[in-house]
Amino acid sequence: MLTTEQIQAILPHRYPFLMVDRILEIEAGKKAVGLKNVSANEQFFNGHFPGYPVMPGVLIVEALAQVGAAAVLQLEANKGRLAFFTGIDNCRFKRQVVPGDQLRLEVELTKLRGSMGKGHAIATVDGEIACECDILFALGPVVEK
């Protein structure tokens, strides 16, 4: 299990854009499972939507991408590098995510060739699929922190 501090040692994201609170499982270069506790205090709820707060779908996908990036960046050869989103395929939203929900974020890396890769991602709330997609990424340079 990785805490927020340990996640921040892997990913460059910081509040308010770090979308992962904890990594429950991680297998470098293969898969990762993370959690996002969706609080009523999230900044995006101020405008999405007043009186009917719903987590934006693109931020659910971003949370999935961050979990996938943690799995990729755990590989020794990728430590210190950045992972960039290059595409999203077959994305479907099947349930709204609202304050009080806990997102379980599962990403299995299905292809990793050179600096490019792909992963299958599923976000669930209480066992019900909220979002499912294939995420594509490219690895960037090593960045000094």
The per-residue pLDDT of the chain, averaged, comes to 96
Contact present, 109 and 30 (Cβ < 8 Å): yes
Contact present, 4 and 23 (Cβ < 8 Å): no
- Mean pLDDT to the nearest integer, 20-45: 97
Per-residue pLDDT, 59: 98
Kindly list the structural domains of the chain, giving each domain's residue range(s) and its CATH number in brackets, ordered by start.
4-142 (3.10.129.10)
Residues that are catalytic: 48
pTM (2 d.p.): 0.96
What is d(CA 61, CA 77) in angstroms, rounded to the nearest whole number? 25
Per-residue pLDDT, 82: 95
What is d(CA 44, CA 4) in angstroms, rounded to the nearest whole number? 20
